[in-house]
Amino acid sequence: MSVVEIKNLSFVYSKKTPYETRALDDVSLTIEEGEFVGIVGATGSGKSTLIQHLNGLIRIQDKKRSSITINGMSLSDKKYLKKVRFDVGMVFQYPEYQLFEDTVAKDIAFGPKNMKLSKEEVDERVKRAMEVVGLDYATFAERSPFDLSGGEKRRAAIAGVIAMQPQVLILDEPVAGLDPVGREEILTLVQKLRREVSKTVLMVSHNMDDIARLATRIIVLKDGRVVADGTPKEVFISGKIEETGLELPLAARIAKNLKARGFDIGDAITPDELVAGVRRAMEAKHV
Amino acid sequence: MFKDVSFGQYYPINSPVHRLDARVKLLSVILFVVAIFFVKSYFGFMLTAALILFIILLARLPIVSVLKSVRGILLIVLITAILNLFLIKDGEVLVQWEIFVITKGGVHTTIKMVLRLVLLISGVSLLSLTTTPVQLADGIESLMSPLKLIKVPVRDIAMVMSIALRFIPTLFEETVKIMNAQKARGASIDTGSIVQRVRSLVPVLIPLFVNSFRRADELAFAMDARCYNATDKRTKMKKATLRFADFVAAFLILAFFAVILLERYYFPTVGINIDAKIFGGLL
Protein backbone atom coordinates (compact mmCIF):
# COMPACT_ATOMS: atom_id res chain seq x y z
CA MET A 1 0.00 0.00 0.00
CA SER A 2 1.24 3.45 -0.83
CA VAL A 3 1.88 5.85 2.02
CA VAL A 4 0.43 8.84 0.19
CA GLU A 5 -2.22 8.66 -2.50
CA ILE A 6 -3.51 11.81 -4.17
CA LYS A 7 -6.24 11.63 -6.77
CA ASN A 8 -7.41 14.48 -9.02
CA LEU A 9 -6.54 17.18 -6.52
CA SER A 10 -7.49 20.71 -7.55
CA PHE A 11 -7.51 23.85 -5.45
CA VAL A 12 -8.57 27.42 -6.13
CA TYR A 13 -7.73 30.30 -3.80
CA SER A 14 -10.27 33.11 -3.18
CA LYS A 15 -12.93 31.50 -5.32
CA LYS A 16 -15.31 33.89 -7.08
CA THR A 17 -13.38 37.05 -6.25
CA PRO A 18 -11.00 39.10 -8.41
CA TYR A 19 -8.17 37.50 -6.43
CA GLU A 20 -9.10 34.02 -7.69
CA THR A 21 -6.04 31.92 -8.48
CA ARG A 22 -5.83 28.27 -9.40
CA ALA A 23 -3.09 26.73 -7.28
CA LEU A 24 -3.52 23.05 -8.11
CA ASP A 25 -5.00 21.59 -11.25
CA ASP A 26 -5.93 17.92 -11.26
CA VAL A 27 -2.85 16.53 -9.51
CA SER A 28 -2.65 12.76 -9.03
CA LEU A 29 0.31 11.15 -7.27
CA THR A 30 1.26 8.12 -5.23
CA ILE A 31 4.25 8.05 -2.95
CA GLU A 32 5.64 4.75 -1.69
CA GLU A 33 7.25 4.11 1.65
CA GLY A 34 10.99 4.84 1.67
CA GLU A 35 10.98 7.37 -1.14
CA PHE A 36 12.84 10.67 -0.87
CA VAL A 37 10.77 12.96 -3.05
CA GLY A 38 12.08 16.33 -4.15
CA ILE A 39 9.31 18.74 -5.07
CA VAL A 40 10.45 21.56 -7.32
CA GLY A 41 8.78 24.36 -9.21
CA ALA A 42 8.91 28.11 -9.63
CA THR A 43 7.31 30.40 -7.05
CA GLY A 44 3.55 30.10 -7.28
CA SER A 45 3.60 26.68 -8.93
CA GLY A 46 1.52 25.14 -6.15
CA LYS A 47 4.20 23.38 -4.07
CA SER A 48 3.10 24.82 -0.74
CA THR A 49 -0.57 24.23 -1.45
CA LEU A 50 0.18 20.63 -2.32
CA ILE A 51 2.18 19.83 0.79
CA GLN A 52 -0.25 21.60 3.10
CA HIS A 53 -2.97 19.33 1.79
CA LEU A 54 -1.02 16.30 2.95
CA ASN A 55 -1.64 16.87 6.62
CA GLY A 56 -5.01 18.49 6.37
CA LEU A 57 -3.90 22.10 6.90
CA ILE A 58 -5.73 22.87 3.68
CA ARG A 59 -8.94 20.93 3.35
CA ILE A 60 -9.88 19.28 0.08
CA GLN A 61 -12.09 21.66 -1.89
CA ASP A 62 -13.95 19.34 -4.22
CA LYS A 63 -14.55 16.23 -2.14
CA LYS A 64 -16.51 14.52 -4.90
CA ARG A 65 -13.64 14.55 -7.37
CA SER A 66 -10.49 14.78 -5.28
CA SER A 67 -9.21 12.48 -2.60
CA ILE A 68 -6.08 12.14 -0.47
CA THR A 69 -5.28 8.99 1.44
CA ILE A 70 -2.48 8.78 3.99
CA ASN A 71 -1.74 5.22 5.17
CA GLY A 72 -5.26 4.27 4.16
CA MET A 73 -6.86 7.14 6.07
CA SER A 74 -8.98 9.39 3.88
CA LEU A 75 -8.43 13.10 4.48
CA SER A 76 -12.00 13.86 3.43
CA ASP A 77 -12.94 12.36 6.78
CA LYS A 78 -12.52 14.82 9.65
CA LYS A 79 -12.03 12.13 12.26
CA TYR A 80 -8.60 11.25 10.86
CA LEU A 81 -7.40 14.85 10.88
CA LYS A 82 -5.44 14.70 14.17
CA LYS A 83 -4.02 11.27 13.52
CA VAL A 84 -2.82 12.32 10.08
CA ARG A 85 -1.13 15.43 11.49
CA PHE A 86 0.93 13.23 13.80
CA ASP A 87 1.74 10.75 11.03
CA VAL A 88 2.80 13.45 8.61
CA GLY A 89 5.36 15.77 10.17
CA MET A 90 5.65 19.17 8.58
CA VAL A 91 8.70 21.41 8.86
CA PHE A 92 7.73 24.80 7.47
CA GLN A 93 9.97 27.38 5.89
CA TYR A 94 11.90 29.21 8.61
CA PRO A 95 10.58 26.85 11.29
CA GLU A 96 12.48 28.78 13.97
CA TYR A 97 9.79 31.48 13.88
CA GLN A 98 7.29 29.11 15.44
CA LEU A 99 9.24 28.51 18.68
CA PHE A 100 7.28 29.80 21.66
CA GLU A 101 8.04 28.04 24.95
CA ASP A 102 10.48 29.33 27.56
CA THR A 103 12.77 26.31 27.29
CA VAL A 104 13.91 24.23 24.35
CA ALA A 105 12.76 20.99 25.98
CA LYS A 106 9.24 22.32 26.59
CA ASP A 107 8.97 23.54 23.03
CA ILE A 108 9.98 20.19 21.60
CA ALA A 109 7.52 18.51 23.98
CA PHE A 110 4.59 20.49 22.52
CA GLY A 111 3.89 17.99 19.73
CA PRO A 112 4.25 14.78 21.78
CA LYS A 113 2.10 16.33 24.54
CA ASN A 114 -0.64 17.03 22.02
CA MET A 115 -0.47 13.35 21.14
CA LYS A 116 -1.57 12.66 24.73
CA LEU A 117 1.48 10.50 25.47
CA SER A 118 2.53 9.70 29.05
CA LYS A 119 4.98 12.08 30.70
CA GLU A 120 7.77 9.50 30.60
CA GLU A 121 7.18 8.86 26.92
CA VAL A 122 7.19 12.61 26.19
CA ASP A 123 10.49 13.10 28.05
CA GLU A 124 11.96 10.10 26.29
CA ARG A 125 10.97 11.47 22.88
CA VAL A 126 12.30 14.95 23.64
CA LYS A 127 15.66 13.51 24.61
CA ARG A 128 15.79 11.31 21.55
CA ALA A 129 14.76 14.12 19.19
CA MET A 130 17.41 16.47 20.60
CA GLU A 131 20.00 13.77 20.28
CA VAL A 132 19.07 13.09 16.65
CA VAL A 133 19.27 16.75 15.62
CA GLY A 134 22.53 17.16 17.51
CA LEU A 135 21.50 19.41 20.37
CA ASP A 136 23.10 18.18 23.57
CA TYR A 137 20.32 17.60 26.13
CA ALA A 138 22.33 18.71 29.16
CA THR A 139 23.38 21.96 27.49
CA PHE A 140 20.27 23.00 25.64
CA ALA A 141 17.21 21.49 27.36
CA GLU A 142 16.73 24.31 29.86
CA ARG A 143 17.83 27.20 27.67
CA SER A 144 15.41 29.63 26.08
CA PRO A 145 14.91 28.89 22.38
CA PHE A 146 15.18 32.63 21.72
CA ASP A 147 18.79 32.71 22.94
CA LEU A 148 20.03 30.09 20.47
CA SER A 149 21.94 30.80 17.27
CA GLY A 150 20.11 30.66 13.94
CA GLY A 151 21.21 27.12 13.09
CA GLU A 152 20.51 25.87 16.60
CA LYS A 153 17.03 27.42 16.55
CA ARG A 154 16.26 25.67 13.30
CA ARG A 155 17.45 22.35 14.65
CA ALA A 156 15.35 22.84 17.79
CA ALA A 157 12.31 23.53 15.62
CA ILE A 158 12.95 20.44 13.51
CA ALA A 159 13.32 18.43 16.73
CA GLY A 160 9.84 19.69 17.70
CA VAL A 161 8.44 18.00 14.62
CA ILE A 162 10.38 14.76 14.67
CA ALA A 163 9.62 14.25 18.38
CA MET A 164 6.20 13.18 17.11
CA GLN A 165 8.03 10.43 15.17
CA PRO A 166 6.03 10.95 11.99
CA GLN A 167 6.12 8.28 9.30
CA VAL A 168 6.25 10.89 6.57
CA LEU A 169 8.37 14.01 6.95
CA ILE A 170 7.70 17.04 4.81
CA LEU A 171 10.29 19.82 4.68
CA ASP A 172 9.60 23.14 2.99
CA GLU A 173 12.92 24.73 1.99
CA PRO A 174 14.72 23.51 5.11
CA VAL A 175 17.98 25.29 4.29
CA ALA A 176 16.58 28.70 3.30
CA GLY A 177 18.58 31.55 4.80
CA LEU A 178 21.42 29.44 6.20
CA ASP A 179 25.13 29.81 5.50
CA PRO A 180 26.95 27.00 3.58
CA VAL A 181 28.02 25.23 6.77
CA GLY A 182 24.50 25.45 8.20
CA ARG A 183 23.02 24.15 4.94
CA GLU A 184 25.32 21.16 4.93
CA GLU A 185 24.46 20.40 8.56
CA ILE A 186 20.72 20.48 7.92
CA LEU A 187 20.97 18.39 4.74
CA THR A 188 23.07 15.78 6.54
CA LEU A 189 20.47 15.86 9.29
CA VAL A 190 17.66 15.26 6.78
CA GLN A 191 19.43 12.15 5.51
CA LYS A 192 19.92 10.96 9.06
CA LEU A 193 16.24 11.54 9.84
CA ARG A 194 15.28 9.43 6.85
CA ARG A 195 17.37 6.56 8.22
CA GLU A 196 16.37 6.86 11.85
CA VAL A 197 12.92 8.48 12.16
CA SER A 198 10.80 8.97 9.05
CA LYS A 199 11.30 6.57 6.20
CA THR A 200 9.47 8.69 3.68
CA VAL A 201 10.64 12.26 3.09
CA LEU A 202 9.24 15.01 0.88
CA MET A 203 11.43 18.06 0.43
CA VAL A 204 10.54 21.27 -1.32
CA SER A 205 13.63 23.07 -2.56
CA HIS A 206 14.83 25.55 -5.11
CA ASN A 207 18.32 24.19 -4.98
CA MET A 208 18.65 21.58 -7.72
CA ASP A 209 22.09 20.53 -6.52
CA ASP A 210 20.65 19.48 -3.17
CA ILE A 211 17.76 17.69 -4.84
CA ALA A 212 20.02 15.93 -7.34
CA ARG A 213 22.17 14.63 -4.51
CA LEU A 214 19.45 13.56 -2.07
CA ALA A 215 16.21 12.71 -3.82
CA THR A 216 15.25 9.32 -5.23
CA ARG A 217 12.43 10.91 -7.16
CA ILE A 218 11.63 14.39 -8.39
CA ILE A 219 8.22 15.91 -8.99
CA VAL A 220 8.16 19.10 -11.04
CA LEU A 221 5.18 21.43 -10.70
CA LYS A 222 4.22 24.19 -13.07
CA ASP A 223 1.07 26.30 -12.75
CA GLY A 224 -0.48 23.72 -10.45
CA ARG A 225 0.18 20.72 -12.69
CA VAL A 226 2.71 17.92 -12.46
CA VAL A 227 4.85 18.37 -15.57
CA ALA A 228 7.54 15.81 -14.77
CA ASP A 229 7.85 12.95 -12.32
CA GLY A 230 10.70 10.45 -12.20
CA THR A 231 14.20 9.75 -10.95
CA PRO A 232 16.50 12.79 -10.79
CA LYS A 233 18.35 11.61 -13.86
CA GLU A 234 15.18 11.14 -15.93
CA VAL A 235 13.82 14.52 -14.92
CA PHE A 236 17.04 16.50 -15.32
CA ILE A 237 17.82 15.17 -18.81
CA SER A 238 14.19 15.42 -19.99
CA GLY A 239 14.49 19.17 -20.52
CA LYS A 240 11.38 19.81 -18.41
CA ILE A 241 13.32 21.68 -15.74
CA GLU A 242 14.37 24.44 -18.13
CA GLU A 243 10.81 24.70 -19.45
CA THR A 244 9.55 25.57 -15.98
CA GLY A 245 12.09 28.36 -15.67
CA LEU A 246 14.31 26.57 -13.17
CA GLU A 247 18.01 25.86 -13.43
CA LEU A 248 19.65 22.45 -13.80
CA PRO A 249 22.12 21.29 -11.15
CA LEU A 250 25.59 22.76 -11.65
CA ALA A 251 27.08 19.39 -12.68
CA ALA A 252 24.38 18.89 -15.32
CA ARG A 253 24.96 22.39 -16.68
CA ILE A 254 28.71 21.77 -16.96
CA ALA A 255 28.14 18.43 -18.71
CA LYS A 256 25.74 20.08 -21.12
CA ASN A 257 28.15 22.91 -21.89
CA LEU A 258 31.01 20.47 -22.44
CA LYS A 259 28.84 18.47 -24.83
CA ALA A 260 27.93 21.62 -26.75
CA ARG A 261 31.66 22.30 -27.16
CA GLY A 262 32.28 18.82 -28.52
CA PHE A 263 33.39 17.03 -25.35
CA ASP A 264 30.69 14.47 -24.57
CA ILE A 265 30.98 13.01 -21.08
CA GLY A 266 27.49 11.51 -20.94
CA ASP A 267 24.84 12.53 -18.42
CA ALA A 268 25.90 13.79 -15.04
CA ILE A 269 23.76 15.44 -12.38
CA THR A 270 26.02 15.31 -9.32
CA PRO A 271 29.65 16.42 -8.93
CA ASP A 272 30.73 12.79 -8.45
CA GLU A 273 29.11 11.73 -11.72
CA LEU A 274 30.66 14.72 -13.44
CA VAL A 275 34.16 13.77 -12.30
CA ALA A 276 33.63 10.15 -13.29
CA GLY A 277 32.29 11.20 -16.69
CA VAL A 278 35.20 13.53 -17.39
CA ARG A 279 37.69 10.82 -16.38
CA ARG A 280 35.98 8.30 -18.65
CA ALA A 281 35.99 10.68 -21.60
CA MET A 282 39.64 11.63 -21.07
CA GLU A 283 40.71 8.01 -20.92
CA ALA A 284 38.75 7.23 -24.07
CA LYS A 285 40.53 10.07 -25.90
CA HIS A 286 44.01 9.08 -24.82
CA VAL A 287 43.61 5.46 -25.80
CA MET B 1 -10.70 31.22 10.86
CA PHE B 2 -10.09 34.57 9.18
CA LYS B 3 -11.92 33.79 6.00
CA ASP B 4 -14.82 36.04 6.88
CA VAL B 5 -12.89 39.22 7.51
CA SER B 6 -13.93 41.05 4.40
CA PHE B 7 -14.78 44.35 5.99
CA GLY B 8 -12.28 46.80 4.69
CA GLN B 9 -10.89 44.64 1.94
CA TYR B 10 -10.09 46.58 -1.18
CA TYR B 11 -11.89 45.35 -4.29
CA PRO B 12 -9.40 45.84 -7.12
CA ILE B 13 -11.14 47.09 -10.23
CA ASN B 14 -11.14 50.39 -12.06
CA SER B 15 -14.34 52.40 -11.79
CA PRO B 16 -15.33 56.06 -11.53
CA VAL B 17 -15.76 55.57 -7.77
CA HIS B 18 -12.35 53.92 -7.43
CA ARG B 19 -10.76 56.83 -9.26
CA LEU B 20 -12.24 59.50 -6.98
CA ASP B 21 -9.88 61.40 -4.70
CA ALA B 22 -9.58 59.68 -1.32
CA ARG B 23 -10.13 63.00 0.49
CA VAL B 24 -13.47 63.49 -1.24
CA LYS B 25 -14.46 59.94 -0.39
CA LEU B 26 -13.41 60.33 3.25
CA LEU B 27 -15.36 63.56 3.73
CA SER B 28 -18.33 62.08 1.87
CA VAL B 29 -18.42 59.10 4.19
CA ILE B 30 -18.31 61.37 7.23
CA LEU B 31 -21.16 63.43 5.82
CA PHE B 32 -23.07 60.28 4.98
CA VAL B 33 -22.69 58.92 8.53
CA VAL B 34 -23.96 62.20 9.97
CA ALA B 35 -26.83 62.31 7.48
CA ILE B 36 -28.07 58.83 8.21
CA PHE B 37 -28.71 59.79 11.84
CA PHE B 38 -31.04 62.54 10.67
CA VAL B 39 -33.16 60.15 8.64
CA LYS B 40 -36.48 59.48 10.33
CA SER B 41 -39.00 58.41 7.71
CA TYR B 42 -39.08 55.29 5.56
CA PHE B 43 -38.92 57.64 2.61
CA GLY B 44 -35.57 58.91 3.88
CA PHE B 45 -34.26 55.38 4.25
CA MET B 46 -35.34 54.61 0.70
CA LEU B 47 -33.43 57.65 -0.52
CA THR B 48 -30.34 56.50 1.36
CA ALA B 49 -30.62 52.95 0.04
CA ALA B 50 -31.03 54.32 -3.48
CA LEU B 51 -27.86 56.38 -3.08
CA ILE B 52 -25.87 53.37 -1.87
CA LEU B 53 -27.22 51.20 -4.66
CA PHE B 54 -26.29 53.88 -7.16
CA ILE B 55 -22.71 54.00 -5.84
CA ILE B 56 -22.42 50.20 -5.82
CA LEU B 57 -23.54 50.06 -9.46
CA LEU B 58 -21.24 52.90 -10.41
CA ALA B 59 -18.31 51.20 -8.67
CA ARG B 60 -19.22 47.87 -10.31
CA LEU B 61 -18.93 46.11 -6.96
CA PRO B 62 -20.72 42.80 -6.52
CA ILE B 63 -23.52 43.25 -3.98
CA VAL B 64 -22.09 40.24 -2.13
CA SER B 65 -18.91 42.11 -1.20
CA VAL B 66 -20.98 44.81 0.50
CA LEU B 67 -23.29 42.28 2.18
CA LYS B 68 -20.24 40.48 3.57
CA SER B 69 -19.33 43.61 5.53
CA VAL B 70 -22.88 43.72 6.86
CA ARG B 71 -22.60 40.10 7.94
CA GLY B 72 -19.84 41.12 10.34
CA ILE B 73 -22.26 43.17 12.44
CA LEU B 74 -25.25 40.86 12.06
CA LEU B 75 -25.08 39.68 15.67
CA ILE B 76 -25.02 43.24 17.03
CA VAL B 77 -27.95 44.16 14.80
CA LEU B 78 -29.88 41.14 15.96
CA ILE B 79 -29.33 41.77 19.67
CA THR B 80 -30.23 45.46 19.40
CA ALA B 81 -33.29 44.59 17.36
CA ILE B 82 -34.56 42.13 19.94
CA LEU B 83 -33.93 44.53 22.82
CA ASN B 84 -35.66 47.38 20.99
CA LEU B 85 -38.60 45.24 20.02
CA PHE B 86 -39.44 44.23 23.56
CA LEU B 87 -38.29 47.22 25.57
CA ILE B 88 -39.81 50.14 23.67
CA LYS B 89 -43.38 50.70 24.78
CA ASP B 90 -44.99 53.24 22.54
CA GLY B 91 -48.49 53.33 21.05
CA GLU B 92 -50.88 50.53 20.34
CA VAL B 93 -50.12 47.11 21.87
CA LEU B 94 -49.81 44.48 19.15
CA VAL B 95 -48.82 41.35 21.04
CA GLN B 96 -48.85 40.63 24.74
CA TRP B 97 -47.61 37.40 26.27
CA GLU B 98 -46.62 37.19 29.94
CA ILE B 99 -44.11 40.02 30.46
CA PHE B 100 -43.34 40.38 26.75
CA VAL B 101 -45.09 43.29 25.11
CA ILE B 102 -44.69 44.37 21.52
CA THR B 103 -46.03 47.78 20.58
CA LYS B 104 -46.52 49.46 17.26
CA GLY B 105 -43.96 52.15 18.09
CA GLY B 106 -41.49 49.45 19.11
CA VAL B 107 -41.84 47.65 15.78
CA HIS B 108 -41.24 50.85 13.83
CA THR B 109 -38.24 51.87 15.92
CA THR B 110 -36.77 48.40 15.51
CA ILE B 111 -37.19 48.31 11.74
CA LYS B 112 -35.71 51.77 11.41
CA MET B 113 -32.82 50.92 13.69
CA VAL B 114 -31.97 47.83 11.64
CA LEU B 115 -32.20 49.83 8.42
CA ARG B 116 -29.98 52.53 9.86
CA LEU B 117 -27.25 50.12 10.98
CA VAL B 118 -27.26 48.08 7.78
CA LEU B 119 -27.16 51.18 5.56
CA LEU B 120 -24.48 52.74 7.76
CA ILE B 121 -22.14 49.76 7.49
CA SER B 122 -22.83 49.35 3.77
CA GLY B 123 -22.02 53.00 3.17
CA VAL B 124 -18.83 52.96 5.21
CA SER B 125 -17.65 49.70 3.64
CA LEU B 126 -17.91 51.36 0.21
CA LEU B 127 -14.98 53.55 1.21
CA SER B 128 -12.60 50.71 1.99
CA LEU B 129 -13.86 48.60 -0.90
CA THR B 130 -13.00 51.30 -3.42
CA THR B 131 -9.92 52.92 -1.83
CA THR B 132 -6.52 51.34 -1.24
CA PRO B 133 -5.07 51.68 2.27
CA VAL B 134 -2.25 53.82 0.92
CA GLN B 135 -4.68 56.24 -0.72
CA LEU B 136 -6.64 56.36 2.52
CA ALA B 137 -3.58 57.17 4.60
CA ASP B 138 -2.52 59.87 2.14
CA GLY B 139 -6.01 61.29 2.20
CA ILE B 140 -6.12 61.42 5.98
CA GLU B 141 -2.69 63.07 6.04
CA SER B 142 -3.84 65.70 3.60
CA LEU B 143 -7.04 66.37 5.55
CA MET B 144 -5.13 66.65 8.81
CA SER B 145 -2.46 68.99 7.43
CA PRO B 146 -4.02 72.15 8.96
CA LEU B 147 -3.17 70.64 12.35
CA LYS B 148 0.50 71.24 11.57
CA LEU B 149 -0.12 74.83 12.60
CA ILE B 150 -0.65 73.72 16.18
CA LYS B 151 2.46 71.49 16.03
CA VAL B 152 0.71 68.17 15.60
CA PRO B 153 3.24 65.82 13.91
CA VAL B 154 0.88 65.03 11.05
CA ARG B 155 3.53 63.46 8.84
CA ASP B 156 4.69 61.11 11.57
CA ILE B 157 1.13 60.13 12.34
CA ALA B 158 0.51 59.51 8.66
CA MET B 159 3.63 57.38 8.38
CA VAL B 160 2.63 55.36 11.44
CA MET B 161 -0.80 54.93 9.92
CA SER B 162 0.42 53.79 6.54
CA ILE B 163 2.89 51.37 8.11
CA ALA B 164 0.12 49.92 10.27
CA LEU B 165 -2.16 49.55 7.28
CA ARG B 166 0.64 48.15 5.17
CA PHE B 167 1.41 45.46 7.73
CA ILE B 168 -2.11 44.22 8.36
CA PRO B 169 -1.97 41.71 5.49
CA THR B 170 1.59 40.75 6.41
CA LEU B 171 0.68 40.04 10.03
CA PHE B 172 -2.36 38.20 8.79
CA GLU B 173 -0.26 35.95 6.60
CA GLU B 174 2.20 35.46 9.41
CA THR B 175 -0.59 34.47 11.80
CA VAL B 176 -1.90 31.91 9.36
CA LYS B 177 1.62 30.52 8.88
CA ILE B 178 2.29 30.16 12.60
CA MET B 179 -1.16 28.70 13.18
CA ASN B 180 -0.50 26.12 10.50
CA ALA B 181 2.87 25.28 11.99
CA GLN B 182 1.36 24.72 15.43
CA LYS B 183 -1.60 22.84 13.99
CA ALA B 184 0.90 20.58 12.27
CA ARG B 185 2.25 19.85 15.74
CA GLY B 186 -1.21 18.90 16.92
CA ALA B 187 -2.42 22.18 18.43
CA SER B 188 -6.21 22.19 18.73
CA ILE B 189 -6.91 25.43 16.89
CA ASP B 190 -9.57 24.09 14.57
CA THR B 191 -10.49 21.02 16.58
CA GLY B 192 -11.36 20.44 20.22
CA SER B 193 -13.44 22.33 22.78
CA ILE B 194 -13.63 26.12 23.13
CA VAL B 195 -11.32 26.07 26.18
CA GLN B 196 -8.77 24.02 24.25
CA ARG B 197 -8.98 26.37 21.29
CA VAL B 198 -8.44 29.47 23.40
CA ARG B 199 -5.53 27.90 25.27
CA SER B 200 -3.96 26.93 21.98
CA LEU B 201 -3.70 30.60 21.00
CA VAL B 202 -0.66 31.05 23.28
CA PRO B 203 1.66 29.15 20.90
CA VAL B 204 0.42 31.42 18.12
CA LEU B 205 0.54 34.78 19.90
CA ILE B 206 4.04 34.47 21.36
CA PRO B 207 5.82 33.82 18.04
CA LEU B 208 3.63 36.48 16.45
CA PHE B 209 4.78 39.10 18.97
CA VAL B 210 8.41 38.06 18.75
CA ASN B 211 8.30 38.21 14.95
CA SER B 212 6.52 41.57 14.96
CA PHE B 213 9.22 43.16 17.10
CA ARG B 214 11.88 41.68 14.87
CA ARG B 215 10.07 43.03 11.83
CA ALA B 216 9.65 46.48 13.37
CA ASP B 217 13.35 46.56 14.14
CA GLU B 218 14.28 45.61 10.60
CA LEU B 219 11.91 48.17 9.15
CA ALA B 220 13.34 50.91 11.35
CA PHE B 221 16.85 50.03 10.19
CA ALA B 222 15.75 49.98 6.56
CA MET B 223 14.08 53.38 6.87
CA ASP B 224 17.09 54.79 8.67
CA ALA B 225 19.42 53.42 6.00
CA ARG B 226 17.44 55.36 3.40
CA CYS B 227 17.68 58.54 5.47
CA TYR B 228 14.01 58.67 6.34
CA ASN B 229 12.88 61.73 8.21
CA ALA B 230 9.46 63.25 8.34
CA THR B 231 10.38 66.82 7.50
CA ASP B 232 8.41 69.14 5.28
CA LYS B 233 10.98 68.74 2.52
CA ARG B 234 9.71 65.23 1.80
CA THR B 235 7.62 65.15 -1.37
CA LYS B 236 5.20 62.56 -2.70
CA MET B 237 5.57 60.42 -5.79
CA LYS B 238 1.85 60.30 -6.43
CA LYS B 239 0.25 63.62 -5.75
CA ALA B 240 -3.51 63.54 -5.51
CA THR B 241 -5.26 66.30 -7.40
CA LEU B 242 -8.95 67.10 -7.50
CA ARG B 243 -10.58 66.49 -10.85
CA PHE B 244 -13.99 67.37 -12.26
CA ALA B 245 -15.49 64.04 -11.15
CA ASP B 246 -14.48 64.81 -7.57
CA PHE B 247 -16.47 68.03 -7.59
CA VAL B 248 -19.47 66.21 -9.05
CA ALA B 249 -19.23 63.57 -6.30
CA ALA B 250 -18.91 66.24 -3.62
CA PHE B 251 -21.92 68.07 -5.03
CA LEU B 252 -23.98 64.85 -5.09
CA ILE B 253 -23.25 63.98 -1.50
CA LEU B 254 -23.93 67.56 -0.36
CA ALA B 255 -27.22 67.49 -2.23
CA PHE B 256 -28.11 64.23 -0.52
CA PHE B 257 -27.28 65.75 2.86
CA ALA B 258 -29.39 68.80 2.10
CA VAL B 259 -32.37 66.69 1.00
CA ILE B 260 -32.20 64.62 4.19
CA LEU B 261 -32.08 67.76 6.37
CA LEU B 262 -34.87 69.48 4.43
CA GLU B 263 -37.04 66.39 4.60
CA ARG B 264 -36.55 66.17 8.35
CA TYR B 265 -36.89 69.82 9.42
CA TYR B 266 -38.68 71.81 6.75
CA PHE B 267 -41.02 69.37 5.04
CA PRO B 268 -41.64 66.68 7.68
CA THR B 269 -45.09 66.04 6.23
CA VAL B 270 -43.68 65.00 2.85
CA GLY B 271 -41.94 61.95 4.27
CA ILE B 272 -44.90 61.03 6.45
CA ASN B 273 -47.31 61.34 3.52
CA ILE B 274 -45.16 59.22 1.23
CA ASP B 275 -44.72 56.62 3.97
CA ALA B 276 -48.50 56.54 4.42
CA LYS B 277 -49.09 56.21 0.68
CA ILE B 278 -46.69 53.28 0.33
CA PHE B 279 -47.53 51.36 3.45
CA GLY B 280 -51.16 52.44 3.78
CA GLY B 281 -52.86 50.88 6.74
CA LEU B 282 -49.71 49.19 8.00
CA LEU B 283 -48.53 52.33 9.77
| Contacts B180 to A, Cβ<8 Å | 52, 57, 90, 92
Residue A28: the pLDDT is: 94
Contact A203, A214 (CB under 8 A): yes
Residue B5: the pLDDT is: 43
B185-211 pLDDT per residue, tens: 988 776 667 787 777 788 999 999 999
ipTM for the predicted complex comes to 0.86
Residue A118: the pLDDT is: 94
A89-118 pLDDT per residue, tens: 999 999 999 999 999 999 999 999 989 999
| Contacts B181 to A, Cβ<8 Å | 90, 92, 95, 98
Q: Which residue of A has its CA nearest to B209?
A: A100
Ordered domains of chain A (ranges, CATH): 4-248 (3.40.50.300), 249-287 (no CATH)
* Spatial separation of the C-alpha atoms in residues A191 and A187, rounded to whole Å: 6
For the four alpha carbons of A258, A263, A268 and A273, in that order, the dihedral sign comes to negative
| CB–CB contact A98 B187 (8 Å) | no
Whether the CB of A114 is below 8 Å from some CB of chain B: the reply is: yes
| CB–CB contact B184 A85 (8 Å) | yes
| Contacts A19 to B, Cβ<8 Å | 12
A75-90 pLDDT per residue, tens: 888 888 888 999 999 9
- Which one of A21, A100, A102 would you mutate to disrupt binding with B, by most B Cβ within 10 Å of its Cβ? A100
Those residues whose C-beta lies under 8 Å from the C-beta of residue B62, and which sit 6 or more positions away, are: none
Q: Which residue of B has its CA nearest to A88?
A: B184
Residue A194: the pLDDT is: 93
Those residues whose C-beta lies under 8 Å from the C-beta of residue A228, and which sit 6 or more positions away, are: A218, A219, A220, A234, A235, A238, A240, A241
Q: Which of A22-31, A211-220, B6-15, B128-137 has the lowest mean pLDDT?
A: B6-15
* Spatial separation of the C-alpha atoms in residues B136 and B25, rounded to whole Å: 9
Whether the CB of A164 is below 8 Å from some CB of chain B: the reply is: yes
Residue B283: the pLDDT is: 59
pLDDT by residue for chain B (283 residues), tens only, comes to 344 344 457 888 899 999 999 999 999 999 999 999 999 888 899 999 999 999 999 999 988 888 888 888 888 899 999 998 888 887 778 888 878 888 888 888 899 999 999 999 999 999 989 998 888 888 988 898 898 889 888 888 888 888 887 788 788 889 989 999 998 998 877 666 778 777 778 899 999 999 999 999 999 999 989 888 766 677 777 777 888 999 999 999 999 999 999 988 888 887 778 777 777 666 5
| Contacts B207 to A, Cβ<8 Å | 97-100
- Which one of A14, A92, A97 would you mutate to disrupt binding with B, by most B Cβ within 10 Å of its Cβ? A97
Q: What is the DSSP string of chain B?
A: --TT--TT-------HHHHS-HHHHHHHHHHHHHHHTT--SHHHHHHHHHHHHHHHHHHT--HHHHHHHHHHTHHHHHHHHHHHHHH---SSEEEEETTEEEEHHHHHHHHHHHHHHHHHHHHHHHHHHHS-HHHHHHHHHHHHGGGGGGT--HHHHHHHHHHHHHHHHHHHHHHHHHHHHHHHTT--SSSS-HHHHHHTTHHHHHHHHHHHHHHHHHHHHHHHHTT----TT---SS-----HHHHHHHHHHHHHHHHHHHHHHT-HHHHHHHHHHHHGGG-
A225-281 pLDDT per residue, tens: 999 999 999 999 888 888 888 889 999 999 989 999 988 888 888 889 999 999 998
